[in-house]
Amino acid sequence: MSAAWAALALAFCAGSRSPGQDPPQEPEVELVQRRDVPESMQAEPARRALERSLAWMLSEQNPDGTWGVFVPDDLMELGFAPETFYDWNLASNFLVLLALMECEETPERRAALERGLRAACEKRLPIRGEDWDNDAMWTALYATVTLTRAAADERLQSEPLKPMIQARGRDYAAILRRNQVIEGGWGYYDDPPFTHRPKWATSFSTACVVPALAAALRLGWIDDPSIVQRAVRYVDRCRLPNGAYEYDLNPIPRLQGGEHINQVPGSLGRIQVCNWALKSVGVGKVTDDLVREGLERFFDEHRFLDAARMRPIPHEAYFANAGYFYFFGHYYAALVINTLPAAERESFHARLRPHLVKAMRENGSCTDFLNSDYDVLASTAFLALAIDAGLPEAAR
């Protein structure tokens, strides 16, 4: 027995380490393959990536002309009203249509555009799904953006599309008029006491529709100029001295320091869409220098958007970034780049393209939040629009 204990003690001593000795290093296992992302990208490889995304969109169109499904298809979001899934998907359909309008035309894309536009105009109007949940606003916002663009498109002025576009455009403009908060913006939730006209809005949801509202006024879809003026004023009042835009307008801005959402790293997408909206309607205080500063901050702090992309809980990332701001922010970065002098644009677009292409799947689609149909559709449409906005005419 003593011999057995002695052997065990010798084995233990042989395997033990002296104090201060480093443990043996396990070989590293790369769970996710790293991808080399260049600092800039020329237009041609981005154009080829765009072709893949557009091909995916055409392949995913349903027989009735729509895209995606209008019911829940992911267990992660079952706390929302059932109506909300209809609203989100219809909003994403309008984004896909906007991408097909803006990108280079082919016979297949033209056919998909016309079928999809008819289908979207024939879908019933969205409604508020719950007392607190008013995500129908996303449909109204991007329907207004897309339909004002369609009303100006010479390809879409024949029967039956022209009257459909005009009628539905007026319908969605009326929804926006009824849901504009007292301060002038639009949001997608409401707080107690719940009221017919909501009381909460955000800078970015308001900004995304401001230029389209100006177009709707010219088209006669709205007849009250104060609707546009109040929306512009709402976005402008969200500007903060640090260069960020407040998430939502408050009498005393919410800026508590640290990793707050209203710090610049938490406002990277909002800076782009708000600068673009205000500059597009002639707000003089948004100068070229201010746009350049916002873009430089976008690239300097881009790691916070990277960290948020694909996180499944809204606002869980640093500075309360949410994954679904990734492609939204890059699209409006591309648009605000195009408000700068022409000679400056390519250098900014070249820096933007790698952050778009790196997030694409092999089939041309992409997503930044969940794998629900509506989010894949919206993400891919935003990506296509952002790449297209940066292509010189020779590359289209």
Helices 107-122, 136-151: axis angle to 10 degrees equals 130
Q: In this structure, what token pair is assigned to residue 342?
A: 């022409």
Provide the 3-class DSSP secondary structure of residue 216. helix
For 211, phi then psi, to 5°, come to -60, -35
Are residues 291 and 274 in contact, defined by beta-carbon separation less than 8 angstroms? no
Q: What is the DSSP letter of 61?
A: B
Query: CA torsion sign, 79 to 268 to 385 to 200?
Result: positive
Query: CA torsion sign, 330 to 249 to 142 to 148?
Result: negative
Return all residues near 107 (Cβ < 8 A) that are at least 6 apart: none
pTM for the complete prediction? 0.91
Return all residues near 115 (Cβ < 8 A) that are at least 6 apart: 61, 65
Return all residues near 373 (Cβ < 8 A) that are at least 6 apart: 67, 68, 69, 73, 89, 92
67 has which bridge partners? 61
Q: Walk along the chain (396 residues) and give the pLDDT tens digit of each residue.
A: 455 555 544 444 444 455 556 666 666 655 445 567 899 999 999 999 999 999 999 999 999 999 999 999 988 898 999 999 999 999 999 999 999 999 999 999 999 999 999 999 999 999 999 999 999 999 999 999 999 999 999 999 999 999 999 999 999 999 999 999 999 999 999 999 999 999 999 999 999 999 999 999 999 999 999 999 999 999 999 999 999 999 999 988 877 778 999 999 999 999 999 999 999 999 999 999 999 999 999 999 999 999 999 999 999 999 999 999 999 999 999 999 999 999 999 999 999 999 999 999 999 999 999 999 999 999 999 999 999 999 997 454
Domains detected in the chain: 38-395 (1.50.10.20)
Alpha helices (runs of H) in 103-209, residue ranges in sequence order: 107-122, 136-151, 161-179, 203-207
Cα angle for residues 188, 194, 198 (degrees, 5° grid): 40
